[in-house]
Structure 1
Amino acid sequence: MYICQLKTFAIAVLLAFSSPASLAASASTANKEYRHAQEPIGTVRQLYDGKLYPDIQVNTFRNIDRLFPTRTVARGKTVSSLPLSKQPLQAFSYQVDGKQYDLYDVLSMNRVSGILIIHRGEIVFEQYLLGNNEHSRWMSMSVVKSITATLIGAAIHDGHINSIDDPIVNYLPRFKGTAYDGVTVKHLLQMSSGVAWNETYTDPASDRLRMLEAQISQQPGAILELMASLPRAAKPGTVWNYSTGETQLAGALVRSATGKPVAQYLSEKIWSKLGMQADANWWLESENGLEIGGSGLSATLRDYARLSLFLLNDGVINTANGSERVLPQGWMATAGSRQVIGGETVDYGYMFWPMHGRSYAAEGIFGQYLFVDPDKQLVVAMWSAQAKPLNRAGLNEYTFLQALSDHFQ
């Protein structure tokens, strides 16, 4: 286990879309304590296109707050401990098609840039690579979808949202008369709205890339305008279709129901109470605008691990003063389970990906994972810097994570 030396850092908030050189030169004075703040980075289009050379890609992934305006997710006054296990992970290996692989293979072949494994509340393995340390921040991308969905659970528990079966237009009246009229909160969480959406990254005409261009435009409400213009493809609740755009509606739902910015609600309900070691930051659609519901949270690896432990504990935060339930009881068991949509079982929960047994994961492009296995009391927070947004993992992450679960009693 290797743990790098501590350094302090501050959060940078800076809008930039220009060249790597100008991006590096424009880092604000508030950023100087963050050890990566002066690194040259690429542009957001290069990031999503997979057109960054390895060194610039890594720099960009740990400096995404320089690509768009952000809002701070404030930590609390205390930091929760992550004790080290007296039995660290050793001699781990597994076989696939008669070939044996170990952690060295996984970390190297998948370009892992940080991994933290916690078993029964204790760190059994922690490693930082590609120039990171425990104070480096890293992008989470679609892991944010799972965070936004979890905040919907918190809003239901708080009574801000009356029921998971409420129509979303009760909270987002601007969508009355659109294809989202008749879609419920549950449909949104399941991505079973029935609204047409093309997620294909490689299709320049896809809705996903239209959403990215709307985000780059930094025009307030541009993404929601795009969503309101989409046609209906099926009856709500009958077809599953993965849609990053719908996570923007999910974020707007949290904002409208709670009356608070999404980052502030995340801070108040989870981040400030869970003993996070650092503030996080979250992309905005425009200066002082709505958070991007499906990408753009940047935080430290240990804080991602603390968030994973929160999920493992079914949304209960334990402190010296007692415990506080943040999510409805049993929420995570449902959120992390396969759903039946239109009579068919789909490998998707409430914006989480079910895996083996009762395990599930929040996942992001380029190889980001928050993995939770309730049966083994195991969580894994993992960063990667794979070459392209999709289909560039050297070794199958699901196979690796299942082998890791099988390793523990």
Structure 2
Amino acid sequence: MAHCRVCKSMSSRVKLALCVAYQRIRENDRLAASMAAPKKVTANGLSGYSPSIAVGKGMKVRQSRKMLPYKNMWKSKMMTNLLVTVFVIIAILISVYFIVASRTDTFTGRWVAWKSSGVDDYLLFPFAAIKRPPSTFTFDNSNEDFPNRDITYEYNGKTRTANLEALLEQTNTTAFIVIKGDTILYENYFNGYQRDSIVTSFSIAKSITSLLIGMAIDDGYIQSLHEPVTQYIPELSQIDPEYQNITLQHLLSMKSGIAFKDTDIPWHDKSKAYYHPYLREVVTHLPLAEPPGKTFVYNAFNPIILGIVLENATGQSVAEYFEARFWMRLGAEYDASWSLDSNEDKMAKMESGFNARAIDFAKIGRLVLHRGKWDGEQMISAEWIENSTKIEAENLVPKFGGNVYYQNGWWIISPTARDKYTVFGWGHLGQYLFIFPDDDMVILRFGKEIGQVDSWRRIAQEIVGVVANK
């Protein structure tokens, strides 16, 4: 069978289906046209056109009555053609979907194939391995039973009460740890997770990025947060001269002025920051929406740009610097990893892609709780921790509440009659690293989803109160 013009550039299976359908449509059209045409007839049935003629012995037959079966048949053929056309279109769309979804080395392919982000996405992205140190730090364990009591919480603004462990199970929590000082008061895992199960940071990675910037300043790789980003990525000046006015502080505090559309629509920036396999190219060609320092915009591009700053300042990959400078000194119990955008680009996903065990995330909380000191060693300057966790009016984020602040990659709650002073990392789907400096406590919650809970911070705060009143 000769292929029609529409099929020449298609793959063999799709080509064959289209070709057959196209030939069938043409045959149906010719048949319908031949049936619909008026017939040459005379009294003896051989020649002459006439709308109304005598046949045989004077019998008069109207053309409309004679044409009715042909019109019905023509309509039937048209309906067949329409159904075949719809079938072909659906077949093409399905073929395109599977072709695109098979290309997970492209942004569109990832968006189609991987769909919404999930806690197992670390299995999808390539990664840079982080080795655990030869010697590890282990928390003490309390011999006293943790008070497994009912917890009061809110969902959709309504107060509810539930047993703590039942609530953790029902909300798809995967890990929950309560630490006071250096002692684990409670550690448990749910919904198929165990102590050695990997959990992903999502946006807690932004808080870790902040710690790495502070360490790079301590090490002399970066001179000051007041340096312009173009000091480390000079090509940004070619995109917009205003980049010379964006400082590292602006990037850490989400006030860079870089344009960012925070929606899950595939061609918008939030999706690009998460799925794109060439993040360097993306973040070094971004337009500016406004001058820096004016407006808080939670922009996932900012920490990725800071990742490039770290690479250019230290001369190492983020994973290499993190392993030697951070993980080895932290006494981690397990290996970890940074997710990468692709094996070709090898850009660490600074906005969301640090993967480790929950117990080692707890050690990051302990480092902040102890103002940067780890077993007698000042891993990061106390000044950096103090500057990152202090409450300043200019860092208020009013849309989240009258006492919610964002400073150097950390969320901060100022104390009120209802709220305790809290510093925390906050990740998508309910990943939380809570630090309560005034109570010497760290509480972690990781999960597959946030669950039917309005505020995990309030639940953590209630637990702090329970521990204090034991």
Match of residue 366 from structure 2: 309
Q: Could you say if the C-alpha distance between residues 342 and 133 of structure 1 is closer, same or farther in structure 2, counting changes exceeding 3 Å?
A: closer
Given candidates 269, 274, 279, the residue that maps to 1:212 is 274
Distance in 1 separating the partners of 2:184 and 2:382: 27
Distance in 1 separating the partners of 2:301 and 2:364: 24
Q: Which moved more, 1:224-233 or 1:185-194?
A: 224-233
Q: Which moved more, 1:272-281 or 1:175-184?
A: 175-184
Greater relative CO (CA pairs within 8 A, separation 6+): 1
Matched, 1:237 2:237: no
Match of residue 362 from structure 1: 425
Partner SS for 1:173: coil
Match of residue 249 from structure 1: 305
Contact residue 110 and residue 395 of structure 1 kept, 8 A:
no
Distance in 2 separating the partners of 1:299 and 1:342: 30
Deviation at 1:211, TM superposition (A): 2.6
Deviation at 1:98, TM superposition (A): 5.1
Amino acid at match of 2:457: Y
Deviation at 1:309, TM superposition (A): 1.0
Amino acid at match of 2:462: A
Deviations for 1:287-323, whole angstroms, at most 9, x for unmatched residues?
16221111122111111111211121122121xxxx2
Deviation at 1:232, TM superposition (A): 1.9
Q: Which moved more, 1:203-212 or 1:364-373?
A: 203-212
Matched, 1:49 2:130: no
Matched, 1:66 2:136: no
Partner SS for 2:192: coil
Partner SS for 1:181: helix
Q: Which has more helix, going by share of residues?
A: 2
State, as a whole percentage, how many aligned pairs show the same letter.
Answer: 26
Q: Which moved more, 1:365-374 or 1:178-187?
A: 178-187
Match of residue 440 from structure 2: 377
Contact residue 336 and residue 358 of structure 1 kept, 8 A:
no
Match of residue 400 from structure 1: 459
Distance in 2 separating the partners of 1:100 and 1:193: 42
Q: Which moved more, 1:248-257 or 1:395-404?
A: 395-404
Match of residue 336 from structure 1: 389
Q: Could you say if the C-alpha distance between residues 65 and 383 of structure 1 is closer, same or farther in structure 2, counting changes exceeding 3 Å?
A: same
Distance in 2 separating the partners of 1:341 and 1:235: 16
Contact residue 190 and residue 339 of structure 1 kept, 8 A:
no
Amino acid at match of 1:208: K
Deviation at 1:342, TM superposition (A): 8.5
Q: Could you say if the C-alpha distance between residues 225 and 339 of structure 1 is closer, same or farther in structure 2, counting changes exceeding 3 Å?
A: farther
Match of residue 21 from structure 2: none
- Map 1:138-157 onto structure 2 (within 5 A): 138-157=199-218
Distance in 2 separating the partners of 1:304 and 1:79: 14
Given candidates 260, 264, 284, the residue that maps to 2:320 is 264
Deviation at 1:400, TM superposition (A): 0.8
- Map 1:4-403 onto structure 2 (within 5 A): 49=116, 61-62=119-120, 64-96=121-153, 99-179=160-240, 180-201=243-264, 203-215=265-277, 222-287=278-343, 289-318=346-375, 323-341=376-394, 347-355=405-413, 356-386=419-449, 393-403=452-462
Deviation at 1:325, TM superposition (A): 1.4
Q: Which moved more, 1:281-290 or 1:240-249?
A: 281-290
Contact residue 376 and residue 408 of structure 1 kept, 8 A:
no
Q: Which moved more, 1:223-232 or 1:280-289?
A: 223-232
Contact residue 111 and residue 275 of structure 2 kept, 8 A:
no
Q: Could you say if the C-alpha distance between residues 373 and 163 of structure 1 is closer, same or farther in structure 2, counting changes exceeding 3 Å?
A: same
Distance in 2 separating the partners of 1:91 and 1:67: 37
Q: Which moved more, 1:173-182 or 1:96-105?
A: 96-105
Deviation at 1:45, TM superposition (A): 5.6
Q: Could you say if the C-alpha distance between residues 357 and 394 of structure 1 is closer, same or farther in structure 2, counting changes exceeding 3 Å?
A: closer
Unpaired segments of 5 or more residues in structure 2?
1-97, 103-109, 399-403, 414-418
Partner SS for 1:278: coil
Q: Number of residues paired by the alignment? A: 345
Contact residue 238 and residue 342 of structure 1 kept, 8 A:
no
Q: TM-score, normalised by structure 1?
A: 0.77
Distance in 2 separating the partners of 1:71 and 1:332: 27
Deviation at 1:194, TM superposition (A): 1.2
Deviation at 1:405, TM superposition (A): 2.3
Q: Could you say if the C-alpha distance between residues 115 and 46 of structure 1 is closer, same or farther in structure 2, counting changes exceeding 3 Å?
A: farther
Distance in 2 separating the partners of 1:228 and 1:110: 39
Deviations for 1:254-308, whole angstroms, at most 9, x for unmatched residues?
1111111111111112211111111101111221622111112211111111121
Match of residue 79 from structure 2: none
Q: Could you say if the C-alpha distance between residues 88 and 376 of structure 1 is closer, same or farther in structure 2, counting changes exceeding 3 Å?
A: farther
Partner SS for 2:161: strand
Cα RMSD (Å): 2.5
Task: Name the larger-Rg structure.
Answer: 2
Partner SS for 1:375: helix
Distance in 2 separating the partners of 1:164 and 1:130: 42
Deviation at 1:156, TM superposition (A): 0.8
Contact residue 182 and residue 236 of structure 1 kept, 8 A:
yes
Distance in 2 separating the partners of 1:169 and 1:262: 19
Match of residue 4 from structure 1: none
